[in-house]
Chains A and B, each alone.
Chain A
């Protein structure tokens, strides 16, 4: 889905003022009478320092504007091929920029903003870690792709034959690309499988669900319940001693 079509489908035509500026997207929208802030990346962005700071800056503006009032839900749009690969970005500490974005998302959560990520297009590795994965709920839109690395590259790096990886990928969600794999492992809360539904109503329901789990990280437990991640919850609890 391209450009404004996505936001028309999510909020209804005329009910949002989301602006797409290159790889950055942001703006206000409404769901029924609830104002919502939309912030994210666009067009399979390679997230560099400037884009990370744009996201962080917008999160901070929303938090500041709502301080003392009703914190708006924040809907993050994740469409990223991953982090920008550049010597200059490394030198300037792109990892630190991503950590900063993460802290800003955490501040929003602690300040009472419901947080929800919509994966549109693709969500890859570092670009997804920085903000998308930190929301209280993550929804994969139809045809969304989620991965660390494609199987071909993975085969080269791990020196495991591609055919073997392809066979194993059918049985296990643990390494192969796919939004459904991330669903089974608990990192994607919901898969929206068709473009036909009443998206504004579905989005409203997702935001309510996000509010219910705000501040808790339920992903490992969900992953265990869905049979995709058997050890994370058990081991973490054993070490946590709780």
Chain B
């Protein structure tokens, strides 16, 4: 750990792991020296990476044993291919057996890697199953979203399977990226170059307000670590049994009817009754969290 601010957004996957884990505690599985590179990228004459864009291993956080996976958003947009996906799946399977205090998924991914699209799609489905199996074995899984690629496509679904979702405002969470929607449906549906709009629709504050992100932190790796430590001692559990899932079903249906026409986060801030909806994007995470807390105290 470092006493200096480290932008989580700017940091590499390895730097994020180093910042979240206790100093010197990280042990990597399938490290770069093993050269588990993607044969599919090589066949398409595209550059490969020795870790195929994801770092997996064990560590301690505040003295507690965890398993960690961190996607490298700068390598092919953190996209999931055969090897990349198998590493995350293997880690979750190890978790179900070893029962660490938690699995930390540092998600930074646009979803499936198109160069090996079928392998990537299947891998994400395998990750989903392994993740739910780890949870069923009593191991909580926490997602961290604050990188340049956010959590989209299948990794957006994986993120929402997690018990806790810890985000910065810079992080984005969704299914289809704005560029994809604009390409298929037109700029009127979603203008992907309107960055402020993109964040109002997918960013950390909206996700926190809707209860999808469980914690909102500033773009500082130290804050992500503090949130991890807090979650390790007291975390939300993803719904799993029939009663939980019926309640979750009702809540999702309620959200749709509570925001019948909403297409912009601004309308969500208004509907929630935040004092200055237009100013929300400028708020620090602390100030935003305080406003949300006050609203829930009133309700």
Contacts and interface: CB of A to CB of B under 8 A. Distances in A.
Interface of A: 49-50, 53, 56-57, 60, 63-64, 67, 83, 85-100, 102-104, 106-107, 110-111, 125-126, 128-130, 133-134, 146-149, 154, 157-158, 160, 164, 168, 172-176, 181-182, 185-187, 217, 219-220, 223, 229-242
A160 B175 CA distance: 25
B245 interface: yes
Contact of B40 (A133, A172, A235): A172
Contacts of B128: 102, 129, 134
Interface of B: 29-30, 36, 39-40, 43-44, 46, 56, 82-83, 85-87, 89-91, 93-94, 97, 112, 114-126, 128-130, 132, 136, 151-154, 156-161, 173-176, 178, 180-181, 184-185, 189-190, 201-202, 206-207, 210, 212, 238-242, 245-246, 248-249, 252-253, 255-256, 259, 261-265, 268
A163 B248 CA distance: 47
A91 B157 contact: no
A240 B97 contact: yes
A22 to B, nearest CB: 17
A231 B116 contact: no
Given A49-B256, A126-B153, A174-B117, 19 more contacts: A53-B252, A87-B178, A88-B263, A91-B263, A94-B174, A99-B158, A100-B160, A125-B153, A126-B175, A129-B125, A129-B128, A174-B118, A175-B114, A185-B118, A187-B118, A220-B89, A232-B89, A232-B123, A238-B29
Contacts of B116: 174-175
A56 B239 CA distance: 13
Contacts of B210: 92-93
Given A85-B181, A175-B40, A239 B118 contact: no
Nearest to B165: A96
Nearest to A233: B86
Contacts of B83: 231-232, 235
